[in-house]
Amino acid sequence: MVLGILGSGSGSNMQAILDAIDSGSLDARIALVLSDQPDAFILERARKRGIETGLIDCRGFKTRFPDEAQLETAERLRAAGVELVCLAGFLRLVKRPLLDAFPRRILNIHPSLLPAFPGLESWKQALAAGVPETGCTVHFVDEGMDTGPVILQEAVPVLPDDSAESLHARIQLAEHRLYPAAIARVAAGF
């Protein structure tokens, strides 16, 4: 399975995917990593592995993902032979035309047990709500925010002495296990 990764941050989930590929537990190859942030560490991680990288030009918008940028992104992903797009800390809402270019072929990992706590900083939402557990979800991307069909989930307990940072760190450990497993499950269905 040829993967394309879109990310805005450090790329720890991409690293988990690479680790799974290296160990042989995921039969895939990352062909292209794109970011909307020129200084995102995900780009450095990819370059160190010899993976092609590029920037997404969002036309100066801080959070919006303009149609022109989505079209350009789709063209770059297609040119790289990407079969499955994985969002790894990509902080923009994907819509058409990118969804049309990769129907049911865009995955996202979210740090909660969806449908609970969609959106940003969901671990803080979970703490504020006082829930006994939260977790992470890998889902197909659709037009909504964190609303697509669920592929896999993993629960993480909320401990009495948890801070936002400690809870987020434990959720990320679960994400690093879950994302490669979900990609393998989706790939098996192609």
What confidence tens digit (pLDDT) does each residue in 37-57 have?
999 999 999 999 999 999 999
Q: What residues make up the domain containing 112?
A: 2-188
The number of domains in the chain is 1
pLDDT at 190 exceeding the cut of 90:
no
∠ Cα 154 18 74 (to 5°): 90
User: Could you tell me the sign of the dihedral formed by the alpha carbons of 69, 21, 178, 165, in that order?
Assistant: negative
Establish whether 110 is a catalytic residue.
Answer: yes
Note the pLDDT tens digit of each residue in 143-166: 999 999 999 999 999 999 999 999
Give the CATH number of the domain where residue 114 resides: 3.40.50.170
139 neighbors 107 (Cβ within 8 angstroms): yes
Which element (helix H / strand E) includes 159?
Answer: none
30 neighbors 187 (Cβ within 8 angstroms): no
